[in-house]
Amino acid sequence: MMNFKTLFVVLATATTGLNANPVPQGGNQGSGSGTGPFGPASYSTEGSLSSHTLYAPKNIPSGSKLPILIWGNGGCSANGLDFQGFLNEISSHGVFVISQGTPNGRGQTNSGQMKTALDWVFSGSSKYHQYLEKSRVSVSGMSCGGVEAYDLAGDSRVGNIGIFNSGLMSPADSQRIAATIRKPVFFFLGGRGDIAYENGERDYRVLPQGTPSWKGNLDVGHGGTYSQPNGGKFGVAAVRFFQWTLRGNATASQFFTNDAEATQAGWQVEKKNLNGVQVTPL
Per-residue pLDDT tens for 38-97? 999 999 999 999 999 999 999 999 999 999 999 999 999 999 999 999 999 999 999 999
Taking each helix axis from N to C end, the angle separating 250-257 and 232-245, rounded to the nearest 10 degrees, works out to 120
Torsion of CA 272, 280, 181, 270, to 10 degrees: 20
- For 101-121, the pLDDT digits (tens) are 999 999 999 999 999 999 999
Which among 230, 221, 226, 214 is positioned nearest to 275, based on CA atoms? 214
Instruction: Report whether 147 contacts 169 (CB < 8 A).
Output: yes
Say if residue 15's pLDDT is above 50.
no
Name 263's Cβ contacts closer than 8 Å, sequence gap at least 6.
Answer: 269
List the domain boundaries for the chain.
Answer: 4-15+26-276
Name 40's Cβ contacts closer than 8 Å, sequence gap at least 6.
Answer: 33, 34, 57, 58, 88, 92
- For 184-211, the pLDDT digits (tens) are 999 999 999 999 999 999 999 999 999 9
Instruction: Report whether 139 contacts 114 (CB < 8 A).
Output: yes
Instruction: Report whether 235 contacts 209 (CB < 8 A).
Output: no
Phi first, then psi: give them for residue 203, nearest 5 degrees: -60, -40
251, HSE (Cβ side, Cα atoms, 13 Å): 1
Q: Which CATH superfamily is domain 4-15+26-276 in?
A: Alpha/Beta hydrolase fold, catalytic domain (3.40.50.1820)
DSSP labels for 88-113? HHHHTTT-EEEEESBTT--SB--HHH
